Amino acid sequence: MPSNTYRAITAWAEEDRPREKMLLKGKYALSDAELLAILIGSGTVGTSAVTLAQRIMADVDNDLYALGKRTVGELRRYPGVGQAKAITIAAALELGRRREKSGPRERVRIGSSNDAFRVIAPHLVDLHHEEFWLLLLNKANEVIGRERLSTGGMSGTVVDVKLAFKAALDKLSSALIAIHNHPSGNLQPSQADIELTKKLRQAGLLLDIPLLDHLIVSERGYYSFADEGMM
């Protein structure tokens, strides 16, 4: 087969297709043209999305800053790039520009039970039903995620320990803090709260994702299992 014969992306080896390549090797393995091809989605008869993306990148000397200055109208001049695709490309580049401008947000670091309470209180203290949440932390005890694990009624909510640690594993968490509210205002843990804490702590030890604390919160304040020596 001559080297210049057109082959649809679906005929390529799976690891060479942009979407599959991203799934297999990660986003950093893709070239600028391959990332652009994912936004384009599909090419035209005889031209793949990757070839079309390479053509667009060549016209801006492979300069993403220059590509970001192209208007929707200018992008639509390429055969195979209609209004929807041109808007998608322009929107993605604008998001990239805003991301670069905003910079990374400073993460909240949890150094005490009071820090954890202040992070979660706005979500829980005014509720009239129970909810169970997790604060997911990195190695520096910075919050990398807030997960609502379950919602219940006035007097309780069911918590699946497996789902708790699935959430932690999905976020590559190094530690977690469990939190739930008592709408009644009573901050004393029930026997069920104590048993759940034990299960979470034991599972955390096995998975090397330690449970640092379990807070019970209400509008009156909070109860910390760690502060009370219950861990």
Query: Which is higher by pLDDT, 35 or 47?
Result: 35
> In the numeric block, which tokens belong to residue 154?
């006035």
Considering just the CA atoms, what is the radius of gyration of the chain in Å?
A: 25
**pLDDT for 136:** 96
Helix (H) / strand (E) containing 177: strand 175-181
- What integer pLDDT is reported at residue 44 of this predicted model? 84
Residue 178's closest CA among 226, 230, 216, 214? 214
Tokens of 4: 């210049």
| Least confident among 103-112, 120-129, 184-193 | 103-112
Which one of 80-89, 104-113, 148-157 scores highest in mean pLDDT? Answer: 80-89
Looking at per-residue confidence, does 222 or 13 come out higher?
A: 222
Q: Of the ranges 91-105, 128-142, 143-157, which is most confident?
A: 128-142
DSSP letter string over 142-168?
A: BEEEEEEEEE--SS-----HHHHHHHH
Q: Domains plus CATH for the chain?
A: 9-102 (1.10.150), 113-224 (3.40.140.10)
Which of 126-130, 149-153, 220-224 has the highest average model confidence (pLDDT)?
220-224
The Cα–Cα gap between 85 and 230 comes to 57
Pairing of strands 175-181, 211-218: parallel
pLDDT digits (tens, 9 = 90+) for 177-227: 999 999 999 999 999 999 999 999 999 999 999 999 999 999 899 999 999
* pTM for the whole structure: 0.60
3-state DSSP assignment of residue 184: coil
User: For the chain, what is the mean pLDDT?
Assistant: 88
CA angle 11, 46, 21 (to 5 degrees): 35
* Mean pLDDT value of segment 33-54: 90
Q: Please check the confidence at residue 38 and state whether its pLDDT lies above 90.
A: yes
Per-residue pLDDT tens over the stretch 20-36: 888 888 888 899 999 99
User: Crossing angle, helix 191-207 and helix 161-170, to 10 degrees?
Assistant: 40
By three-state DSSP, how is residue 197 classified? helix
